[in-house]
Amino acid sequence: MNYYSHSKLIEYGVTEGSKELQVHVNGVKEKALFHLAEGLSLGYNAEELKEIVGIIVDFHDLGKYTSYFQNYLLKQEPIDFLLKRHAQLGGFVAYNYFQEKDEKKALLALYLIFLHHSPLIDFVKVNSKFTYDLDKIIKEQIADLEKKITIIEDDLKLKKLKDFLYYSDKRKIRNGFIDWVEDSCSIQDYYLINYLFSLLIEGDKLDASDTVPYRLKPIKPSSVDDRFGKLNAHNKSLEELNNNELRNYCRAVVISNLEQTNILEHFVFTLTAPTGIGKTMTALDFSLKLKDKIKKNSGVEARIIYALPFINIIEQALNEYDKVLETQNINILGHYQYADVFGNNEQKENVDGAEQGYDQKLMALDTWQADVVITSFVQFFETLIGNRNRLLKKFNHFANSIIILDEVQTLRLDQMPLLGAALFYLSKFLKSRIILMTATRPKIFELAQQEILNPEGEKVEPKELLTNYEAIFALFKRTSINPLLNNLKEEKENRTREFVYSIFADKWNAEKSCLIVCNTVKRSIEVFDIIKNFLEENNLGNPIYYLSTNIIPAHRLERIQDIKGDIQHQKAPILIATQVVEAGVDLDFDMGFRDIGPIDSIIQVAGRINRNNDIEKIHSPLYIIDFDVKATTMVYGRLTYIQAKKSLEQKKYFYEKEYLELITTYFDGISEKSSFADARTFFNSMKTLKYDADDKKLLPVSAFRIIEESDRYSPVFIEIDDSASEILEKYLQKITNEIELEEYNKNWKLKFQQHIISVPKYLCEELSTVNEYEESILLVPKKEIDIRYSKQTGYNRNFKEQNSVFTF
């Protein structure tokens, strides 16, 4: 008789086995061991880890050998939905195999097998799986397996399986989990469990989908040199270097670290450099040469993982990496999904092993089968700190990887101690090499040391790659920050008009391109409308643009290109925007204004002014305005507002060479007064294996999100034109299976995402969903575009108010 792990529907009412169980188990083991990394520090040596993985895989689907599961799989009567369960039987047998040799291994094996189709749960909650009828279920399953014990032993190459085929001592297991949590659990256990779980579930799903694991390839260490030229020595002083020479100099300083004999002993790096200095290519160059050095030293081929905060700059990074690496036969993967932005679209797990179809390309994407992975902070950090089965498939690929984290100043201050500690332990236990890049030096590792690592007896010592970054910062005279915090006198309702006709009119002239950044969409639209009127009243022909998350992503990139063209042709455009321009937007304005906010955000906006370091525009001004205390504190919090204002009030202006001192003052002040209690609680949940809790206010691992989820917003598809109508139609066809998922993902998925914006729910009350099958995404249909969406400023936030006036 053949035993199957999976089945497929041949025709209506007829199901047959699609993969033999023996083939599946061996395939999972092959794939799990293929990805098992060497040289890790997880409390077990390489041979022990290999043994644990082997036993977990051997027994994870043992219950599928029962006639109960085979009947269920092949749709043959009788079907018993209790007795067909398979994971718990395998968990008990694996526990029995290990228990006399190593109780920790026994508990690990049981836990991982029990949950291999589920999220990870609180360790002590495993006891809740021992239901009153479990004893009867397991004993009947064992009786069924005993009839075919010789076949199973031959299939799995296991001797004396019968010795371990019994119902385990539940009391001993319960006490074992409780004792582990109360007496001996550590943060190392968190990384061990997530790593082993990842190997198991990834191997299981790769094999079920017949996805071939990707073997990492070498990448030419000279790839960046080949595109931008080799680094040449020069005899000039720093002050004499032009922009390109300075970029090359900084890259040379960073690369020179690789000549140090002990460089491979370092696992945590920082790269601090001003905006516009070429950090992206510098970090890639360092990583490629470090990858080559690691391979020559240990034989390990390192994966490069590059994580960024926003989808638009992920797309830019993909484009830049492609240009550098396009001639090589390597796999570069961009992994960011719709779920990154709008809620949790995770599919519910099939508890019996995915008899549904799998998409190989999607599986390869979800498991990072690539040499270079460019991904979002959401994907990266919610895999690092998380319990979700879907995300943890790729956790094992952190091992021995080179991880570049860009624009880290966008991370929330209250999370920094937790993230710094999690990254430190990632480098310690999984031997990942971490590179943090920033222009503003947020205190991620300092806060981690202060709040979490000190009590743990640990010390993180990041190695700065641009060793003379202070001297580099001191060279720049591109911009200055000019606080005008008390210049607006009117009531807040009139401040926008006062700003335009008083401050803007006084500081700006028609020959200058100008950037204006507001804290809220509402304020930014008001500024746009009033400045537009101001230009018309004064017969000024300066192009005026608007940019925020109120505009569909498909139009944002076009708009940025239009603005860049106008700047190059000296048309002196004016851009009114929100915080979307603070990272990854390569624009170069003559001057700017910004609503008061965090100092690091202010410095990021300054990086869009005189970006190309025109000597004739030295100290180009960025004026800081205080539009509305209430709005600012709603966006950033009261402490941020108070500390930012205090820092800015020290002087009448700050030259660029003083920005490091300004940011240090700000971070010192805000860190001292901030509460990091949640960060410490989350870390304690990781350390005590509290993966989940009924009350998310207890902050179990499952409650962690890198972006605060808000139930105040809804995703809305904007059917802006005929092209958008076609995209929407393809999305609906995907839902109703009229087109293949692979075709949709390849040709339409990104286009669909680029027509979605997030809108406050109170503005969406009259919108319907895209269709009856999709309840989470709302629709502005093409026939309502004129009243609900402006091509200039996006979603009409006055529509409800206008409607109310109309009905009266």
Mean pLDDT of 339-350: 38
pLDDT of residue 710: 62
- CATH 3.40.50.300 residue ranges of the chain are 223-338+360-473, 476-673
Please, what sign has the CA dihedral across residues 426, 427, 428, 430? Answer: positive
pLDDT of residue 200: 98
Contact assessment for residue 716 and residue 778, using Cβ atoms and an 8 Å cutoff: yes
Instruction: State both tokens at 459.
Output: 């010390």
DSSP string, 729-792: HHHHHHHTTSS-HHHHHHHTHHHHHTTEEEEEGGG-TTPEEEETTEEEEEEE-GGGHHHHEETT
* Closest by Cα among 665, 675, 594 to 441: 665
- CATH 1.10.3210 residue ranges of the chain are 4-208
Does the pLDDT of residue 168 top 70, yes or no? Answer: yes
pLDDT of residue 345: 37
List Cβ neighbours of 37 (8 Å cut-off, separation of 6 or more).
300, 396, 399, 400, 430, 431
Reported as a single tens digit per residue, the pLDDT across 561-604 is 999 999 999 999 999 999 888 876 789 999 999 999 999 999 99
DSSP β-ladder status, 514-517 and 591-595: parallel
Enter the DSSP assignment of 720: -
Does the pLDDT of residue 354 top 90, yes or no? Answer: no
pLDDT of residue 709: 65
CA 171/CA 127 separation, integer angstroms = 9
For the ranges 22-31, 414-423, 486-495, 571-580, the lowest mean pLDDT is seen at: 486-495
pLDDT of residue 372: 96
Banded pLDDT at 275 (limits 50, 70, 90): confident
Instruction: State the CB neighbour count (10 A cutoff) for residue 103.
Output: 16
- Which CATH class, in words, describes the domain spanning 4-208? mainly alpha
Does the pLDDT of residue 469 top 60, yes or no? Answer: yes
Reported as a single tens digit per residue, the pLDDT across 254-264 is 999 999 999 99
Mean pLDDT of 27-46: 96
Residue 107 gets the label, from left (phi > 0), alpha (psi -120 to 50) or beta, of alpha
Does the pLDDT of residue 801 top 50, yes or no? Answer: no
pLDDT of residue 492: 67
Reported as a single tens digit per residue, the pLDDT across 377-387 is 999 999 999 99
For the ranges 38-42, 69-73, 336-340, 650-654, the lowest mean pLDDT is seen at: 336-340
Does the pLDDT of residue 802 top 50, yes or no? Answer: no
More confident residue, 631 or 712: 631
Contact assessment for residue 122 and residue 177, using Cβ atoms and an 8 Å cutoff: no
CA 467/CA 211 separation, integer angstroms = 44
pLDDT of residue 428: 98
DSSP string, 305-324: EEEES-HHHHHHHHHHHHHH
List Cβ neighbours of 190 (8 Å cut-off, separation of 6 or more).
686, 687, 689
Mean pLDDT of 656-679: 92
CA 306/CA 668 separation, integer angstroms = 28
Banded pLDDT at 359 (limits 50, 70, 90): low
Mean pLDDT of 330-339: 74
DSSP β-ladder status, 620-625 and 789-790: unpaired
In 3-state terms, what secondary structure has residue 716?
Answer: strand
Architecture of domain 223-338+360-473: 3-Layer(aba) Sandwich (3.40)
Q: Which fold has domain 476-673?
A: Rossmann fold (3.40.50)
Does the pLDDT of residue 357 top 60, yes or no? Answer: no
Reported as half-sphere exposure (CB side, CA atoms, 13 A), residue 700 has a value of: 17
* Closest by Cα among 432, 439, 430 to 407: 439
Mean pLDDT of the chain: 90
Does the pLDDT of residue 347 top 80, yes or no? Answer: no
pLDDT of residue 230: 85
For the ranges 160-174, 688-702, 771-785, the lowest mean pLDDT is seen at: 771-785
CA 47/CA 38 separation, integer angstroms = 10
What distance, in Å, lies between the first and last C-alpha atoms of the chain? 77
User: pTM, whole model, 2 decimals?
Assistant: 0.90
